[in-house]
Chain A
């Protein structure tokens, strides 16, 4: 189950944060997202020798906390997508797929001539598309 999605700009400014559960403290999720930014910076500055040059976008599991898993995705404009989920048996392929769709929705939102790059994403269509991508996510990996 995805609990939180965040889009962070290239200067670590938040562009979009959405939590999908009411039970957990939103602040705690924001804090997790914030900490994961440090992990991303670390990964970007010290690339592992084994990382393939082709798909540098998907950073994979950033770090597992108590009951959450945090995945990262870096676009070539240094915009970071962060996914926090409670599923413990999630497949890598599912997360990659998710990020691909999320990236497509992000690109469409940013192509809006009224969107100012660097400011928060206020598009309602983007929010709806994100909800529709998030909903089947937990169902696929559970089955």
Chain B
């Protein structure tokens, strides 16, 4: 049976089950609020959100690969494009753009102009160090780690802090070759 052609982000977004966007936004807002109340330290909250995102990412990548049937990416550039155009579109309903490639092609920026997580949100003065969308950086990091890429994901620009877009920097640290648990000659 011939493998299915890779589907575009819009087609995938239309085919998955949907949930009300406001419910999603309000739920995420409640999670962040509760974390702040429980942990009280903004840096701790950032770390927890990243960890939560990581846990989501390692599971999400399997669903993504199963539903989208994209072929193996040749290089990191293609990976970043697939994440921005297909991945974000399928799960968040928004498309990101990829810019700011460095000379070696290992670092790029994903630009999000529209982010459903931050509808209605305004950061109070007590939480200025908070990366509200840190869960997204964890998701990207977790997902890429499951396909053998160790990355570092950080926020460069944040709309809640006054910038005009969300900019997520993805840096490829190492491509880990797959390890086989059994030696071939035994």
Number of A-B residue pairs at CB separation under 8 A: 29
Question: Which B residues are within 8 Å of any A CB, using their own CB?
Answer: 22, 25-26, 29-30, 32-33, 119-124, 127
A123 touches B26 (CB 8 A): no
One of A113, A123, A125 near B29 (C-beta < 8 A): A113
Q: How large is the interface on A (under 10, 10 to 19, 20 to 34, 35 or more residues)?
A: 10 to 19
- Nearest-neighbour CB distance to chain B for A123, whole angstroms, equals 5
A111 touches B122 (CB 8 A): no
Question: Which A residues are within 8 Å of any B CB, using their own CB?
Answer: 108-109, 111-114, 122-125
**Extra contacts besides A111-B119, A111-B120 (14): CB < 8 Å:** A108-B120, A111-B25, A111-B26, A112-B29, A112-B121, A113-B26, A114-B121, A114-B122, A114-B123, A114-B124, A114-B127, A122-B124, A123-B122, A124-B122
CB contacts (< 8 Å) of B127 on chain A: these are 114
CB contacts (< 8 Å) of B119 on chain A: these are 111
Bound form: Cα–Cα A36–B124 in Å: 32
What are 5 A-B interface contacts by the 8 Å CB criterion? A108-B120, A111-B26, A111-B119, A112-B29, A113-B121
- Nearest-neighbour CB distance to chain B for A5, whole angstroms, equals 19
Task: Give the most central of A109, A111, A125: most B CB within 10 Å.
Answer: A111
CB contacts (< 8 Å) of A122 on chain B: these are 124
CB contacts (< 8 Å) of B22 on chain A: these are 111
CB contacts (< 8 Å) of A111 on chain B: these are 22, 25-26, 29, 119-120
B124 touches A113 (CB 8 A): no
Bound form: Cα–Cα A109–B120 in Å: 7
Closest 7 CB pairs of A and B: A113-B29, A111-B120, A113-B33, A114-B124, A123-B122, A112-B120, A108-B120
- By beta carbon, the residue of chain B nearest A125 is B122
CB contacts (< 8 Å) of A124 on chain B: these are 122
B26 touches A114 (CB 8 A): no
- By beta carbon, the residue of chain A nearest B33 is A113
CB contacts (< 8 Å) of B25 on chain A: these are 111
B30 touches A113 (CB 8 A): yes
- Nearest-neighbour CB distance to chain A for B135, whole angstroms, equals 14
CB contacts (< 8 Å) of A112 on chain B: these are 29, 120-122
- By beta carbon, the residue of chain A nearest B119 is A111
CB contacts (< 8 Å) of A114 on chain B: these are 33, 121-124, 127
CB contacts (< 8 Å) of B33 on chain A: these are 113-114
- Nearest-neighbour CB distance to chain A for B159, whole angstroms, equals 12
- By beta carbon, the residue of chain B nearest A110 is B120
CB contacts (< 8 Å) of B123 on chain A: these are 114
CB contacts (< 8 Å) of B30 on chain A: these are 113
